Amino acid sequence: MGWVAVIWIAFITVLFCLPETTPITLATFNYAPIAVGAVLLFSGGWWVLSARKWFKGPHRQGDETTLEALEEEIAA
């Protein structure tokens, strides 16, 4: 199901970036590709310049038995 979601999001992202009308003028230009590109450029640049050096991902805060006990307590 995860791959289906990724493919669907990639597909609709392309659709949302297409122009809405023709001919394309400054008034009818779809700025979505520029916004997506800016976000990707900023986040990718931030990762390359800074985050890859210090970000190690989420940390576990307990072992399996502790987590199972917490889940059982919440479910009850």
Q: What pLDDT shows up at residue 64?
A: 87
User: Can you read off the two tokens belonging to residue 65?
Assistant: 């038995």
Contact 29, 19 (CB under 8 A): yes
Q: What pLDDT shows up at residue 48?
A: 93
Q: What pLDDT shows up at residue 4?
A: 95
What DSSP element (H or E) covers 33? helix 32-46
Q: What pLDDT shows up at residue 33?
A: 85
List average pLDDT for each run of 10 residues in the chain, which is 76 residues long: 92 84 82 89 94 84 86 89
Phi, psi of 17 (to 5 degrees): -90, -5
Contact 13, 36 (CB under 8 A): yes
Sequence spans of domains, the chain: 2-75
Which one-letter DSSP state was computed for residue 25? -
pTM value is 0.54
